[in-house]
Amino acid sequence: MPTESKAAPASLAARPQWFEGFVGQFLALLGSLAIAVILGSILIVAYGESPLEVYSSILEASLGTVDGIGYVLAIATPLIFSALAVAVCFKGGMFNIGVEGQYLVAMVTAAWAALELGFLPGPLLVTAVLAAAMLGGMVWAAIPAILKVKTGAHEVVTTIMLNGIAVSLLAWAINFPLRIGERPGGQNVDLRTDQFPDGALIGDIGEFFGVTPGAHLSWLLFLAIAAAVLVWFLIRRMRLGYEARAVGSSPGSAKAGGISIGATQLKLFLISGALAGLVGMQQILADKGHLPQNYIVALGFTGIAVAFLGQNNPIGIVFAAILWGILSRGEVALQIQSEVPREFIIILQGILILSVVITYQIAKRRLAARQLQRAGEAGALEDSAAPEESSEPREPAHEGTEAFQPTNERDG
Amino acid sequence: MSEGDGAGGKGSPPLVELEKITKRFPGVLANDEVSLELRAGEVHALIGENGAGKSTLMRVLYGIYPADGGTIRVRGKEAKIGSPRDAIGLGIGMVHQHFALVDPFTVTENVILGEEGGPVLDIEEASKKVAQLAEQYGFRVNPLAVVEELSVGEEQRVEILKALYRGVEILVLDEPTAVLTPAETKDLFGNLRKLREAGRTIVFISHKLDEVLEIADRITVLRRGSVVGETRPAETSKAKLAEMMVGRPVLFRLKKPHVQVGEPVLRVEDLAGEGKLNGITLEVRAGEILGVAGVEGNGQRELAEALIGLRKLDAGSIGLEGTGIVGRSVGEIRNLGVGYIPEDRHGQGLVLNMTLWENAVLGRQDDSEFSTRLGVLLIRKIKELTARLVGLFDVRTRSVDVNASTLSGGNQQKLILARELETDPKLLIAAQPTRGLDVGAIEFVWTQILEQKAAGRGILLISAELDEIYALSDRIVTLYEGRITGEFSPDAAPEQVGLGMLGGAREEVA
């Protein structure tokens, strides 16, 4: 931004706000991690174990070996997609609780594509499968979006309902149309789909880094990171993201500015659905190679937690997903090496989420205070900014970083 | 200053002494060693621009903010006021601009809330007490009325009664007239005089100078957190007060430029909708400012929103230079050349947690100037435009990268003006354009609106401030219950326009 030649009274060369926000968020994340570690220590001591040993075994299992890192990244991959899906809707002031259902439906459509389009050559097939997954997620996301825009039905309610339907839909799919064929010998056949053709599967990249194939580290990781960058670009650099943020933070102002709230929200929901569609792909295309009956559930819900941890910032989400992966991987170590029950990890994740609320609030206030201070230095306060009115309870989301709650509607 | 007080003090010791009160907010010194004395039985006006620190000072006194320095003495004794409860215990009450009433409750229930006096409510007894209190000071309010059915003026009376019910001797009113009609203001002043006669002390926070001169016994002027002077109505004038407040002379009547009035830009016929608009017909010509006067809540907001396309209509037509715009989207109407300064600056004007540059193109992000066909924002161009607008409209800010929330109210309004005028609209809808702004900012906004007129644009000015209507309009219409009840020239007596605002002028004029 150094190109401003004319002596404009307002300099263009200030440190951009999002940068400060990002640094603030990072420090906040570290702070909440510290809180979680300390509170977790108390718990570990209560179990009669040494916190140092337990934490080091978690770290050893997750980051101590190349394999461990591979596992962590493989766990993080679907979570990145899922959290991005949540974040995209969130920017527009909506809460997509339906990522869960959207990825289940997407697994079905992807499985169908993988089994039915087997005639396609390799790269084309996998592309078609991914496209089918995204389409499936979009269709399932379109339902609540259209209901919201047309009838005002709240997306939280509709997406929760659709999650239930998606579970049944998947069960039906692997029971009937996509069910595995009878094996010769007439054994009891699992409730699952046939194995997908090789061309539909996503290549393992573990071998390039010396990661065990057991980790199922796939190039979906790169796709996830690329998706994060794209979402960042969408939110920060594109018209739709701009409109989304305006709609999310101040629907009245957006509307008065001529932005169509319904159209914006519909688009966001479709993008969210497409991202959600990719959540299950790690599992069926990189890991199993078929759609099993005991598929991993709750990736959509975990995505909400990860999005929160990353404060709906696409880059933050990547880090948050990796952090989540580290903890999840640590579960394995706990089981093997200590008396502390594996649920400890869930507690730790819970504490992390709770403490993040606190540290982000602190970071946000400090950031806001700094902004005001600067504004004050610029002599803009002959008529004060916030303070004169600030005894009125104010929406906290007006400052630098993004708040978790949408400003226009509070969802339970 | 204290010497002067001693001389004119009639021997009565000050009831409340604020001494060297300092209050800091991040980046702002809201009160800088402010000293103030309140005497029993006076109406003490505290005036100053927005952000001068008057509300802050009183909030310190009322225990909402802890002071960073200084002492408060009440009746000669040093007081530690840590909460409003402490303040009330000392006989200090405050009525805020935004009322804190429970809408479905009756007046009595609201008044006794928190002072119920026991586990079993004796509403009848309480009602009697409230009625008695109301009568004593001439408050016209029914103790059994439900608050949500009251007018704003009545709600304010309930708030004052709440304070009196708690035995408050010192009553702080924060901008009490900001929400009142002229008639309600008159009533309020009647009440205040009775309170004064009864020996109560009133702090009257305001920036409306006429009112201050009318009601106050003493006037303290704050500017940028410091006391710049103390005076009495007899010793000063509106112009002098304004100069003390702003720090430079202020023009109250701007010269209206003479403009050749052109063709009608806006033609509204029989507009009706939502029960709030009941057949509005009006016309705005190029180079003309049409002032729509009226007590708030008579359809002003609905009218403005209908014109910009935010509301559905049941009937009527809106023509913009002959093109019908009913049923068109906001975006289309804006593109046809309508600028909109909304009455709700935060709810409809700006997105507070977005940056200045993002706000500066809100509504124009589709322009090929600001985004590519694929939808990528041309941020550098937007920032250049913003920097230019910020310079042109004197928006005080450190950078265009900060959030709009960091701007003061006046600067926020300047940013909105800059954005809406940049597109060179044929019609400008200005709804309550100076609400909550200080004298300096009001002057700026008025000047801009008059310049738009000089440039041949049609302007529909909707305002609850009769002063503003008179200062700017070429023609005045009054709006009452969603109908136009009269048309006046700016030479008409304010009383006549006032009648129109109450619905009575139709017969007299037409």
Residue of chain B nearest A367, judged by CA positions: B26
- On average, the pLDDT of chain A sits at 84
- Judged by CB atoms closer than 8 Å, whether chains meet at B351 and A4 is answered as no
Looking at the fold, whether A239 and A343 belong to one and the same domain comes out as no
Q: Which residues of B touch A369 (CB under 8 A)?
A: 26-27
Cβ–Cβ contact A263 with B under 8 A: no
Give residue A94's pLDDT.
95
Give me the percent of chain B exceeding a pLDDT of 70: 95
Task: At A78, list the tokens.
Answer: 């679907």
Q: How far is B51 from chain A (nearest CA, A)?
A: 4
Give residue B188's pLDDT.
92
- Judged by CB atoms closer than 8 Å, whether chains meet at B28 and A381 is answered as yes
Give residue A93's pLDDT.
94
List the single best residue of A234, A253, A312 to mutate versus B (max B Cβ within 10 A): A253
Task: At A229, list the tokens.
Answer: 């960058």
pTM reported for the whole predicted model: 0.77
Looking at the fold, whether A251 and A267 belong to one and the same domain comes out as yes
Instruction: Confirm whether B2-246 and B264-509 share one CATH topology.
Output: yes
Looking at the fold, whether A159 and A42 belong to one and the same domain comes out as no
Give residue B216's pLDDT.
95
- Judged by CB atoms closer than 8 Å, whether chains meet at A243 and B375 is answered as no
Query: Over 70: is that where the pLDDT of A1 sits?
Result: no
Residue of chain B nearest A393, judged by CA positions: B98
Cβ–Cβ contact A367 with B under 8 A: no
pLDDT one-digit tens code per residue, A380-396: 443 333 333 333 333 33
Interval B423-446 mean pLDDT: 88
Cβ–Cβ contact A264 with B under 8 A: no
Looking at the fold, whether A131 and A146 belong to one and the same domain comes out as yes
If we measure between CA atoms, which residue out of A374, A410, A335, A345 comes closest to residue A20?
Answer: A374
Looking at the fold, whether A44 and A85 belong to one and the same domain comes out as no
Q: CA torsion, points A374, A379, A382, A384, in degrees to nearest 10?
A: -10
Give me the percent of chain B exceeding a pLDDT of 90: 53
**Cα–Cα distance, B131 to B137 (Å, whole number):** 10
pLDDT one-digit tens code per residue, B195-210: 999 999 999 998 788 8
Looking at the fold, whether A325 and A345 belong to one and the same domain comes out as no
Give residue A409's pLDDT.
36
Question: Which of A276, A309, A333 finishes a domain?
Answer: A333
Give residue A323's pLDDT.
93
Amino acid (one-letter) located at B104 = P
Interval A29-46 mean pLDDT: 90
> What is the band of B26 on the pLDDT scale with cuts at 50, 70, 90?
low
Fold of the domain built from segment(s) B264-509: Rossmann fold (3.40.50)
**Assigned domain for A204 exists:** yes
- Which of A 199-238 lie inside 8 A of B, CB atoms? 237-238
**Assigned domain for A104 exists:** yes
Instruction: Say which of B51, B330, B366 has its CB closest to residue A381.
Output: B51
Question: What is the 3-class SS of B386-399, one letter each residue?
Answer: HHHHHHHCCCCCCE
At residue B480's C-alpha, the angle toward residues B478 and B483, to 5°, is: 85
Interval A387-408 mean pLDDT: 35
Give me the percent of chain A exceeding a pLDDT of 70: 83
Sheet holding B170-174, edge to edge: B92-95, B170-174, B201-206, B43-47, B218-223, B226-231
- Judged by CB atoms closer than 8 Å, whether chains meet at B402 and A375 is answered as yes
Interval B268-288 mean pLDDT: 91
Give residue B252's pLDDT.
67
Q: Which residues of B touch A257 (CB under 8 A)?
A: 330, 334, 362-363
CATH assignment at residue A137: 1.10.3470
**Cα–Cα distance, A126 to A101 (Å, whole number):** 22
| SS3 label, residue A116 | helix
**Assigned domain for A118 exists:** yes
- Break chain B into its structural domains and give their ranges: 2-246, 264-509
Q: Which residues of B touch A240 (CB under 8 A)?
A: 375
Answer left, alpha or beta for residue A238, where phi above 0 means left and psi between -120 and 50 means alpha.
beta
| SS3 label, residue A191 | coil
Query: Over 70: is that where the pLDDT of A180 sits?
Result: yes
- Judged by CB atoms closer than 8 Å, whether chains meet at A10 and B64 is answered as no
Number of domains observed in the structure of chain A: 2
Residue A295 domain boundaries: 69-180+191-333
Q: How far is B401 from chain A (nearest CA, A)?
A: 6
Q: CA torsion, points B301, B302, B306, B309, in degrees to nearest 10?
A: 70
Query: Over 80: is that where the pLDDT of A372 sits?
Result: no
Give residue B451's pLDDT.
93
Looking at the fold, whether A31 and A123 belong to one and the same domain comes out as no
The superfamily CATH assigns to domain B2-246 is P-loop containing nucleotide triphosphate hydrolases (3.40.50.300)
Looking at the fold, whether A27 and A135 belong to one and the same domain comes out as no
Contact predicate A244/A269, CB 8 Å: no
At residue A207's C-alpha, the angle toward residues A206 and A213, to 5°, is: 60
Cβ–Cβ contact A370 with B under 8 A: yes
Pairwise pLDDT comparison (B251 vs A362), residue with the higher score: A362
Instruction: Say which of B386, B390, B401 has its CB closest to residue A17.
Output: B401
pLDDT one-digit tens code per residue, B382-403: 999 999 999 999 888 888 988 8
Interval A330-348 mean pLDDT: 86
